[in-house]
Chain A
């Protein structure tokens, strides 16, 4: 089990550019979550999917953010256009759909928008 894999680990981009973050969840997991972590706001849930279907995107900050899950083994989070306030660490996590199943987090993508 390779765990949740995120890429890239670090991304530095200029304001206005498009950014795409990628995630490969653990095989067999039913849920996939995208979180954002900053010092000021802590850990925020952006969006989550169940069996590739978006369930709740109320945490997505604005229309500049979009997420897709075209199949059970891949998801993307896109920011277009990016802004300096989007600088944060973005985590992907996955879990089984069972009572007491914990989240398994990737190591995150550290995004810096200059």
Chain B
């Protein structure tokens, strides 16, 4: 079945540091890939997505590239801020899976001033 494996946390960085959160997936066909972010007390919200190989999703300074050859979708940001502290989830969905998404376990990021 489908699966998503993401880097275990928690991750603690200083402000302005470079961020990478690794995400790899297992799925048949050509899934769409997503990063969601969850701030304290809120639901998950879409951060960025990519729907085909070599696509780059980007938003709020975050980027991730759909790499089919390595089945990866790593999240990166060049300079993190305290306000980026949150839980980040990698996820995939397939058209043939009737709308159902598969989520990773989430990675908690804390950015210190």
Contacts and interface: CB of A to CB of B under 8 A. Distances in A.
Interface in B92-110: 93, 95, 98-101, 103, 105-106
Nearest to B44: A105
B32 A100 contact: yes
A82 interface: no
A42 B105 contact: yes
A66 to B, nearest CB: 20
A39 to B, nearest CB: 11
A99 B36 CA distance: 17
B46 A102 contact: yes
A55 interface: yes
Contact of B43 (A97, A102, A105): A105
Residue among B44, B51, B105 facing the most chain A CB atoms (10 A cut-off)? B44
A100 B99 contact: no
- The size bracket of the interface on B is 20 to 34
B44 A91 contact: yes
A93 B89 contact: no
Given A50-B99, A95-B99, A102-B34, 8 more contacts: A31-B99, A42-B105, A42-B106, A91-B43, A100-B49, A104-B45, A105-B45, A107-B42
A70 to B, nearest CB: 20
Contacts of B43: 4, 91, 93, 105-108
A53 to B, nearest CB: 11
A105 B49 CA distance: 16
B21 to A, nearest CB: 16
B41 interface: yes
Given A102-B46, A103-B44, A43 B98 contact: no
